[in-house]
């Protein structure tokens, strides 16, 4: 999918007054967010702030209790299937079949998305994430870092222009985090629109164009990344999340 339908003001993701409740628990309490085409937004927040709930909503895996979410001009409530074809999701869980090989996994997901040249495209994305030499090995023999790279291949096999990443650094050691960080730079350089959640302030600040802090279900702060530096932002973060 080469062209992506954006609103005339260039916004690809719009969330307006979004709330999500689970019984008495209000996970999101009126979230407003806008992400421009080609922009990388990182949303920081402590445990329980609502980060996963936000990603699940944008990924059409759950519906808002109230409010509106528009992705590439599609309302997620009215056209969830169209939205699903435009996004790739990467989370701390790689969502791979452990007893299938890397190539079998990617072929399976490529078929689900209706990719036309399944075998060729699967090999291409496995190459792009640097796992070509292991493509016939079972996923259960992979390290956490390798599984996360394969999860990237899974997420981009249908060439989505929007990526949603939920705590993608979880469980990666220093080496794995460094490789994953390089991969994020590559994903960003391909002019994708990316929204990532993380607790990891240093890595999130380094890669993103814009940052936000989600605290107790609300966006408590937003800024262009180039307007903040690490120490100053850490102070703002701890103040906003009440630590
Ligand atoms: P973490 O960093 O720990 O993953 P988070 O910022 O991703 O946290 P969420 O998982 O979105 O936070 O959870 C926000 C709030 O909503 C929490 O209080 C959580 O217990 C609650 N919650 C999330 N999903 C459900 C659910 N399916 N049923 C009930 N409560 C839920």
Ligand 1, atom 21: nearest CA belongs to which residue?
Answer: 27
- pLDDT given at position 6: 53
- pLDDT given at position 37: 94
Q: Cα(98)–Cα(149) distance, rounded to whole angstroms? A: 14
Q: Cα(197)–Cα(91) distance, rounded to whole angstroms? A: 9
Ligand 1 near 5 CB (within 6 A): no
Ligand 1, atom 9: nearest CA belongs to which residue?
Answer: 50
pLDDT band, residue 2 (cuts 50/70/90): very low
Ligand 1 near 57 CB (within 6 A): no
Least confident of 12-21, 131-140, 200-209: 200-209
Q: Which atom of ligand 1 is nearest to the CA of 53?
A: 11
Distance from the CA of 48 to the center of ligand 1, in angstroms?
5
Lookup: tokens for 225:
């990344």
Ligand 1, atom 10: nearest CA belongs to which residue?
Answer: 52
- pLDDT given at position 92: 84
Ligand 1, atom 16: nearest CA belongs to which residue?
Answer: 27
> Over the stretch 22-52, which tens digit does the pLDDT of each residue have?
999 999 999 999 999 999 999 999 999 999 9
Nearest to 113 by CA among 159, 72, 67: 159
pTM of the full predicted structure? 0.93
Strands 25-36 and 11-22: antiparallel
Ligand 1 near 27 CB (within 6 A): yes
Q: Cα(87)–Cα(113) distance, rounded to whole angstroms? A: 11
Angle (CA) 63 191 16, round 5°: 30
Q: Which atom of ligand 1 is nearest to the CA of 49?
A: 6
């Amino acid at each position: 999918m080469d062209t992506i339908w954006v609103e005339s003001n260039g916004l690809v993701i719009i969330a307006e007054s979004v709330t999500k409740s689970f019984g008495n628990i209000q996970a999101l309490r009126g979230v407003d967010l806008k992400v421009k085409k080609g922009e990388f937004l990182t949303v920081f927040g402590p445990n329980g702030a609502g980060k996963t709930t936000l990603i699940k909503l944008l990924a059409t895996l759950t519906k808002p209790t109230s409010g509106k979410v528009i992705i590439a001009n599609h309302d997620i409530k009215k056209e969830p299937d169209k939205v699903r074809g435009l996004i790739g999701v990467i989370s701390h869980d790689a969502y791979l079949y452990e007893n299938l090989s890397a190539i079998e996994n990617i072929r399976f997901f490529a078929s689900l998305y209706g990719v036309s040249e399944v075998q060729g495209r699967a090999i291409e994305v496995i190459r792009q994430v640097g796992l070509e030499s292991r493509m016939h090995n079972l996923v259960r023999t992979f390290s956490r870092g390798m599984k996360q790279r394969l999860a990237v291949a899974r997420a981009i096999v249908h060439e989505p222009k929007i990526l949603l990443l939920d705590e993608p650094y979880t469980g990666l050691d220093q080496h794995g985090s460094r490789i994953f960080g390089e991969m994020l730079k590559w994903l960003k350089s391909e002019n994708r629109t990316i929204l990532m959640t993380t607790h990891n302030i240093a890595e999130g600040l380094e890669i993103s164009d814009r940052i936000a802090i989600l605290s107790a279900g609300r966006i408590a702060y937003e800024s262009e990344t180039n307007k903040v530096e690490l120490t100053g932002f850490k102070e703002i973060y701890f103040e906003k999340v009440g630590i």
